[in-house]
Protein backbone atom coordinates (compact mmCIF):
# COMPACT_ATOMS: atom_id res chain seq x y z
CA UNK A 1 0.00 0.00 0.00
CA UNK A 2 1.30 3.46 -0.85
CA UNK A 3 2.11 5.76 2.01
CA UNK A 4 0.35 9.15 2.02
CA UNK A 5 2.52 12.00 0.81
CA UNK A 6 3.80 14.35 3.50
CA UNK A 7 5.99 17.41 3.48
CA UNK A 8 8.95 16.94 5.79
CA UNK A 9 9.38 20.25 7.61
CA UNK A 10 12.94 19.31 8.57
CA UNK A 11 14.15 18.81 5.00
CA UNK A 12 14.98 21.38 2.39
CA UNK A 13 11.74 21.06 0.48
CA UNK A 14 10.61 24.03 -1.56
CA UNK A 15 7.02 25.22 -1.50
CA UNK A 16 5.71 27.46 -4.28
CA UNK A 17 2.84 29.88 -3.69
CA UNK A 18 1.29 31.64 -6.68
CA UNK A 19 0.29 35.13 -5.49
CA UNK A 20 -2.29 37.43 -7.08
CA UNK A 21 -2.69 39.92 -4.21
CA UNK A 22 -6.08 38.47 -3.21
CA UNK A 23 -6.96 37.68 0.41
CA UNK A 24 -7.02 34.02 -0.61
CA UNK A 25 -3.40 34.18 -1.77
CA UNK A 26 -2.39 35.75 1.57
CA UNK A 27 -4.06 32.78 3.28
CA UNK A 28 -2.09 30.45 0.99
CA UNK A 29 1.14 32.18 2.07
CA UNK A 30 0.33 31.67 5.73
CA UNK A 31 -0.49 28.01 5.15
CA UNK A 32 2.68 27.42 3.13
CA UNK A 33 4.88 29.16 5.70
CA UNK A 34 3.56 26.84 8.41
CA UNK A 35 4.62 23.79 6.36
CA UNK A 36 8.28 24.57 5.72
CA UNK A 37 11.49 24.48 7.74
CA UNK A 38 12.42 28.09 6.98
CA UNK A 39 11.43 31.06 4.82
CA UNK A 40 14.27 30.37 2.39
CA UNK A 41 12.23 27.39 1.13
CA UNK A 42 9.21 29.54 0.30
CA UNK A 43 9.00 30.79 -3.28
CA UNK A 44 6.27 33.29 -4.10
CA UNK A 45 5.37 33.76 -7.74
CA UNK A 46 3.35 36.58 -9.25
CA UNK A 47 2.49 36.34 -12.92
CA UNK A 48 2.00 39.54 -14.88
CA UNK A 49 -0.19 39.18 -17.97
CA UNK A 50 1.68 39.96 -21.18
CA UNK A 51 1.12 43.41 -22.60
CA UNK A 52 -0.71 43.77 -25.85
CA UNK A 53 0.41 46.36 -28.37
CA UNK A 54 -3.08 47.81 -28.03
CA UNK A 55 -2.92 48.21 -24.23
CA UNK A 56 -3.53 51.88 -23.35
CA UNK A 57 -0.23 52.39 -21.52
CA UNK A 58 1.73 50.73 -24.33
CA UNK A 59 0.03 52.76 -27.04
CA UNK A 60 0.86 55.98 -25.20
CA UNK A 61 4.43 54.88 -24.47
CA UNK A 62 3.83 55.13 -20.72
CA UNK A 63 4.21 51.46 -19.80
CA UNK A 64 6.46 48.63 -20.82
CA UNK A 65 6.79 45.06 -19.61
CA UNK A 66 10.00 45.73 -17.67
CA UNK A 67 8.32 48.55 -15.77
CA UNK A 68 5.30 46.37 -15.01
CA UNK A 69 7.56 43.62 -13.65
CA UNK A 70 9.41 46.13 -11.46
CA UNK A 71 6.16 47.54 -10.06
CA UNK A 72 4.84 44.02 -9.43
CA UNK A 73 8.03 43.05 -7.59
CA UNK A 74 7.82 46.14 -5.38
CA UNK A 75 4.15 45.48 -4.63
CA UNK A 76 4.92 41.83 -3.89
CA UNK A 77 7.71 42.80 -1.47
CA UNK A 78 5.29 45.13 0.37
CA UNK A 79 2.57 42.46 0.48
CA UNK A 80 4.96 39.84 1.85
CA UNK A 81 6.24 42.27 4.47
CA UNK A 82 2.68 43.13 5.51
CA UNK A 83 1.94 39.41 5.84
CA UNK A 84 5.04 38.95 8.01
CA UNK A 85 6.79 36.88 5.34
CA UNK A 86 9.42 39.27 4.07
CA UNK A 87 12.12 36.61 3.72
CA UNK A 88 10.49 34.56 0.96
CA UNK A 89 12.04 34.29 -2.49
CA UNK A 90 10.08 36.44 -4.91
CA UNK A 91 9.62 35.59 -8.57
CA UNK A 92 7.85 37.75 -11.13
CA UNK A 93 7.08 36.22 -14.52
CA UNK A 94 5.17 37.44 -17.55
CA UNK A 95 2.76 35.07 -19.27
CA UNK A 96 -0.12 32.70 -18.71
CA UNK A 97 -0.53 32.14 -14.94
CA UNK A 98 -1.08 28.37 -15.01
CA UNK A 99 1.75 27.73 -17.48
CA UNK A 100 4.16 29.91 -15.51
CA UNK A 101 3.26 28.25 -12.20
CA UNK A 102 3.87 24.81 -13.69
CA UNK A 103 7.16 25.89 -15.31
CA UNK A 104 8.47 27.51 -12.12
CA UNK A 105 7.45 24.51 -9.99
CA UNK A 106 9.49 22.32 -12.33
CA UNK A 107 12.43 24.76 -12.49
CA UNK A 108 12.83 25.11 -8.71
CA UNK A 109 12.03 21.44 -8.04
CA UNK A 110 9.11 22.35 -5.79
CA UNK A 111 7.91 19.70 -3.38
CA UNK A 112 4.48 21.32 -3.18
CA UNK A 113 2.40 24.11 -4.72
CA UNK A 114 -0.07 25.83 -2.38
CA UNK A 115 -2.78 27.64 -4.33
CA UNK A 116 -6.18 29.11 -3.47
CA UNK A 117 -9.13 27.53 -5.23
CA UNK A 118 -10.02 30.94 -6.63
CA UNK A 119 -8.14 34.21 -6.68
CA UNK A 120 -9.02 37.69 -7.80
CA UNK A 121 -11.00 36.43 -10.76
CA UNK A 122 -13.08 33.91 -8.82
CA UNK A 123 -16.41 33.02 -10.34
CA UNK A 124 -18.98 31.69 -7.92
CA UNK A 125 -20.19 29.05 -10.36
CA UNK A 126 -16.83 27.25 -10.33
CA UNK A 127 -15.82 24.92 -7.54
CA UNK A 128 -12.18 25.41 -8.41
CA UNK A 129 -10.70 28.21 -10.46
CA UNK A 130 -9.43 27.53 -13.95
CA UNK A 131 -5.82 28.37 -13.04
CA UNK A 132 -5.88 26.09 -10.00
CA UNK A 133 -7.48 23.32 -12.04
CA UNK A 134 -4.83 23.53 -14.77
CA UNK A 135 -2.05 23.54 -12.17
CA UNK A 136 -3.51 20.46 -10.44
CA UNK A 137 -3.66 18.61 -13.74
CA UNK A 138 -0.14 19.43 -14.97
CA UNK A 139 2.10 20.28 -12.01
CA UNK A 140 5.24 18.17 -11.52
CA UNK A 141 4.53 17.91 -7.78
CA UNK A 142 1.58 17.64 -5.40
CA UNK A 143 -0.74 20.66 -5.25
CA UNK A 144 -2.59 21.77 -2.13
CA UNK A 145 -5.72 23.66 -3.19
CA UNK A 146 -7.13 25.77 -0.38
CA UNK A 147 -10.88 26.35 -0.20
CA UNK A 148 -12.28 29.84 -0.39
CA UNK A 149 -12.93 31.34 3.05
CA UNK A 150 -16.47 31.86 4.31
CA UNK A 151 -15.96 35.65 4.17
CA UNK A 152 -14.76 35.52 0.56
CA UNK A 153 -17.66 33.24 -0.36
CA UNK A 154 -20.11 35.69 1.20
CA UNK A 155 -18.49 38.62 -0.64
CA UNK A 156 -18.78 36.74 -3.94
CA UNK A 157 -22.44 35.95 -3.34
CA UNK A 158 -23.13 39.60 -2.56
CA UNK A 159 -21.30 40.65 -5.70
CA UNK A 160 -18.49 42.48 -3.89
pLDDT the model gives residue 64 = 79
Calpha distance 2→60 (Å, rounded):
58
The helix (H) or strand (E) run that includes residue 4 is: none
Query: C-alpha angle 73/61/63, rounded to 5°?
Result: 10
For residue 28, which of 13, 51, 45 has the smallest C-alpha distance? Answer: 45
pLDDT the model gives residue 119 = 58
pLDDT the model gives residue 91 = 97
The answer to whether the CB of 47 falls within 8 A of the CB of 96 is yes
What is the domain partition of the chain in residue ranges?
15-158
pLDDT the model gives residue 148 = 78
Taking domain 15-158, whether its CATH number is 3.20.20.60 is answered by no
Report the predicted TM-score, pTM, of the whole model to 2 decimal places.
0.81
Instruction: Give the residues of the chain that fall short of pLDDT 50.
Output: 1, 59, 122-126, 156-157
pLDDT the model gives residue 36 = 84
Amino acid sequence: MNQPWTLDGQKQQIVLVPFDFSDASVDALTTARSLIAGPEYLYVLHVVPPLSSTSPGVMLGETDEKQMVQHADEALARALSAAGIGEARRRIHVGDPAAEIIDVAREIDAALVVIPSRGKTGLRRWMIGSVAERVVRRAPCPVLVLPISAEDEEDELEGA
